[in-house]
Structure 1
Amino acid sequence: MAATEQVQSVGRRKKSVSRITMRQGTGTVTVNGLPVDEYFTIPRHRSLISAPLEVTEARSLYDVTVRVRGGGVTGQAEATRLGIARALLAMDDERRSTLRSHGMLTRDPRIVERKKPGRPKARKRFQFSKR
């Protein structure tokens, strides 16, 4: 890719959808208009997001802009991690083996199971009474 181009990618997890825009820069990460430290206050979430940049040693090479919607904070962080990994792959295809070996290119397919009729939740049953 040319140095001035930007790459867009999408990451999903549960109900969260994260749209990533990545371009050459100094390493700033913005999430919904806020710095990443203000949006994701839990250190585990921040480390999830920065993991693809750390393993490919591209932390200070790109500016990342994230727009994320839906789901909870953990789902949003994991969706963002997948989106950043896909954007890094679009920038340079030689990073595929590194990202794949760390499990960052696999979308987690687990979603919430639907509620069944006649039950309080998806699998829970009402209390049985013999008499």
Structure 2
Amino acid sequence: MQVINTVGRRKTAVARIYMKPGKGQISVNGRELQTYFPTEVLQIILNQPFNLIEKNGQYDVKVNVKGGGIAGQAEAVRLAISRALVEADADNRPALKKEGFLTRDSRMVERKKYGRRKARRRFQFSKR
């Protein structure tokens, strides 16, 4: 029984996962999935790859995730799980690729520029 190790990234969040065949237990940073990702939406995002290829509850996943916010972390974990499922069985690749789960979302926060209030927002202009 080999352990599959993959990495997923989204914005500034980095997720490292260790996946092995099991009973479907998912732990994130040493905590249970429901306590780390309390909202239903984030749990659905995390389980999308398993549901798509109908392998829900067949793998135990141990996740180390850091950086970013909770939504970015959930999407980073989704990418890592998708990559691990492809590594486990190459037949999963077309379905996961079609859904876009293997694509690294490269969008990042644009940096703030000097002379501006935010990245693009200018300071308020007063004519008089």
Q: TM-score, normalised by structure 1?
A: 0.95
Paired position in structure 2 for 1:92? 89
User: Cα distance, 1:129 vs. partner?
Assistant: 1.2
2:57 to 38, 57, 60: 60
User: Cα distance, 1:56 vs. partner?
Assistant: 1.0
Paired position in structure 1 for 2:5? 8
SS in structure 1 at match of 2:124: coil
- Which consecutive segments of 4 or more residues in structure 1 shift more than 2 A? none
Q: How many residues are treated as equivalent by the alignment?
A: 128
CA deviations over 1:84-127 (Å, ceiling 9, x no partner)? 00010110111001101111111111000011111111000011
User: Cα distance, 1:59 vs. partner?
Assistant: 1.2
What amino acid does structure 1 have at the position aligned with 2:106?
A: P
**Structure 1: how far apart are the matches of 2:57 and 2:106?**
31
Paired position in structure 1 for 2:18? 21
SS in structure 2 at match of 1:18: strand
Paired position in structure 1 for 2:48? 51
Percent identical residues: 49
Structure 2 unaligned regions, length at least 5: none
What amino acid does structure 2 have at the position aligned with 1:16?
A: A
2:98 to 90, 101, 104: 101
Q: TM-score, normalised by structure 2?
A: 0.98
Paired position in structure 1 for 2:110? 113
CA deviations over 1:42-71 (Å, ceiling 9, x no partner)? 100000000101111111211001000010
- Give me the CA root mean square deviation: 0.7
**Structure 1: how far apart are the matches of 2:45 and 2:95?**
16
**Structure 1: how far apart are the matches of 2:124 and 2:36?**
42
**Structure 2: how far apart are the matches of 1:114 and 1:102?**
30
**Structure 2: how far apart are the matches of 1:30 and 1:13?**
19
Structure 1 unaligned regions, length at least 5: none
